[in-house]
A = this chain, B = another copy of it.
Amino acid sequence: MSNVIDGRFSNAERSAVYRAIFERRDVRRNFLSTPIPDHILKRVLTAAHHAGSVGFMQPWDFVVVREPTTKSAVKKLFRQANAQATTRYQGKRATLYRSLKLEGIEEAPINIGVTCSRQRGGPHVLGRSMVRDTDLYSTCCAIQNLWLSARAEGIGVGWVSILDHSALKRVLGVPKSVKVLAYLCLGYVSTFATQPELESAGWRERIPLEQLIHYESWGRRVTERKGKR
């Protein structure tokens, strides 16, 4: 039995992957009330679970929230944190900030707390000797897998970052030794915006890619390989 597979994607397959990547949005509104069936939820969690992880540590867990009482407790945490955050802006910027919708906790049929168990895999995790936070990085890769597979399912995902994570851990009963990384809101939507909401609202612009690429060394803007390809 072969333990390898052909690497090639058809043009159509490749386009579908790029479609998911470019059409993924941070969704905070217009969730449909259509429930997410358990087998679809399992599919997106399986996608998350198939991210790579340092030392094959698989440090993630998923706390699936569906009860209105849990959501309402998390919403309360958002309100508190956001009241504080709002004071950071002045004038027009403050008005714009207040006009933005930054979460869809109670509107989304499912919320998911994503955690990272930092002791999983014992004291010496392969590949983690130099950079201890690689377990957190792996968990973020799992989140992106979830986000993209959800997009392919027609499910919008919003990442709520304006939350006190210590308080969130108490609401979700997460043990002290485990870190909460993300709180996601999931629900079917019928359409996706073509741009990030912060871009269309004029909060901030997309940086031209060329400004973010360096060659061989930071700040070197041109590749030296003249005349090639």
Subset of 18 A-B contacts with CB under 8 Å: A3-B194, A3-B200, A4-B191, A5-B194, A7-B192, A16-B16, A38-B229, A42-B209, A55-B203, A56-B196, A56-B199, A56-B206, A58-B207, A64-B214, A100-B126, A127-B162, A134-B161, A141-B147
* Interface status of A226 (Cβ within 8 A of chain B): no
Contact status of A17 and B20, CB under 8 A, knowing A212-B60, A216-B63 = yes
Let me know if B140 and A144 touch, CB within 8 A. Answer: yes
What distance in Å separates the Cβ of A130 from its nearest Cβ neighbour in chain B?
A: 5
What distance in Å separates the Cβ of A214 from its nearest Cβ neighbour in chain B?
A: 5
Which B residues are CB-close (under 8 A) to A137?
A: 136, 140, 143, 181-182
What distance in Å separates the Cβ of A68 from its nearest Cβ neighbour in chain B?
A: 11
The closest CB in chain B to the CB of A1 belongs to B194
Which B residues are CB-close (under 8 A) to A127?
A: 102, 161-162
Q: Which secondary structure dominates chain A's binding surface?
A: mixed
How far is B130's CA from A178's CA once the two chains are assembled, in angstroms? Answer: 18
What distance in Å separates the Cβ of A185 from its nearest Cβ neighbour in chain B?
A: 13
- Interface positions, chain A 32-51, Cβ under 8 Å from B, are 35, 37-39, 42-43, 45-47, 49-51
Contact string against B for A residues 186-229, beta-carbon threshold 8 Å, 1 for contact and 0 otherwise: 00111111111011100110110100111111110001010011
Contact string against B for A residues 67-85, beta-carbon threshold 8 Å, 1 for contact and 0 otherwise: 1001000000000010011
Let me know if B213 and A62 touch, CB within 8 A. Answer: yes
Give the size of the chain A interface in residues (CB under 8 angstroms): 124
Which B residues are CB-close (under 8 A) to A131?
A: 161, 163, 165
Which B residues are CB-close (under 8 A) to A5?
A: 23, 191-192, 194
* Interface status of A19 (Cβ within 8 A of chain B): yes
Let me know if A126 and B152 touch, CB within 8 A. Answer: no
Let me know if B47 and A18 touch, CB within 8 A. Answer: yes
Most buried by B among A49, A172, A182: A49
How far is B216's CA from A65's CA once the two chains are assembled, in angstroms? Answer: 5
Which B residues are CB-close (under 8 A) to A212?
A: 45, 49, 58, 60-62
Most buried by B among A172, A178, A215: A215
